[in-house]
């Protein structure tokens, strides 16, 4: 079995994600020298592509890229957690993303307070899922 040098793969993935983030930031509308972070990036489009929305999808793409490289580089065997089913890292990521969506929707619907607090709850939920599930 030949040994693979993973450094170029890691650097390539980081470079692609960095370039994508740079292009995303360059697409943010400006008023003179001031960035308009929450204004639409594509006027008249079918979706309100503001920077926060685009950054959310960029983060999902970065997570999927990271977990794909992690799964190739460090294969794992499924484990049984508190749910009583076998899960892998990808399964736990999916459970985390789905649960975080419900947490944020409930947070907005019940008007608990500023949205960054929901992010903190989602981070704690993610840690719990990856630890126990």
Q: Residue 13: what pLDDT?
A: 81
Global pTM reads 0.75
CA distance 59 to 97: 11
CA distance 8 to 54: 27
Q: Residue 48: what pLDDT?
A: 79
**Buried/exposed code over 3-31 (b: 16+ C-beta within 10 A; e: otherwise):** eeeeeeeeeeeeeebeeeeeebeeebbee
Q: Residue 12: what pLDDT?
A: 83
- Whole-angstrom Cα Rg for the chain: 19
pLDDT per residue, tens digit, the chain (133 aa), is: 567 676 777 788 888 888 988 888 888 888 888 888 888 887 777 777 888 888 888 989 999 988 988 888 888 889 999 989 999 999 999 999 999 999 999 999 999 888 889 999 999 999 999 999 9
Q: Residue 2: what pLDDT?
A: 65
Query: Could you write out the DSSP letters of every residue in 34-72?
Result: EE-TTS-SSTT-SS---HHHHHHHHHHHHHHHHHHHHHH
Q: Residue 110: what pLDDT?
A: 93
CA distance 35 to 41: 11
Chain centroid to Cα 29, Å, comes to 23
């Amino acid at each position: 079995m030949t040994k693979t040098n993973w450094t170029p793969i890691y650097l390539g993935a980081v470079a692609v994600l960095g370039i994508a983030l740079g292009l995303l930031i360059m697409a943010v509308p400006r008023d003179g020298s001031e960035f308009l972070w929450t204004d639409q990036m594509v006027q008249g489009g079918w979706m309100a592509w503001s920077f926060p929305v685009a950054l959310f999808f960029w983060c999902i793409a970065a997570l999927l890229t990271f977990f794909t490289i992690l799964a190739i580089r460090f294969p794992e065997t499924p484990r049984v957690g508190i749910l009583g089913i076998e899960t892998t890292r990808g399964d736990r990521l999916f459970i985390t993303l789905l649960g975080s969506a419900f947490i944020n929707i409930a947070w907005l619907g019940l008007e608990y307070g500023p949205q960054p607090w929901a992010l903190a709850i989602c981070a704690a939920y993610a840690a719990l899922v990856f630890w126990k599930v």
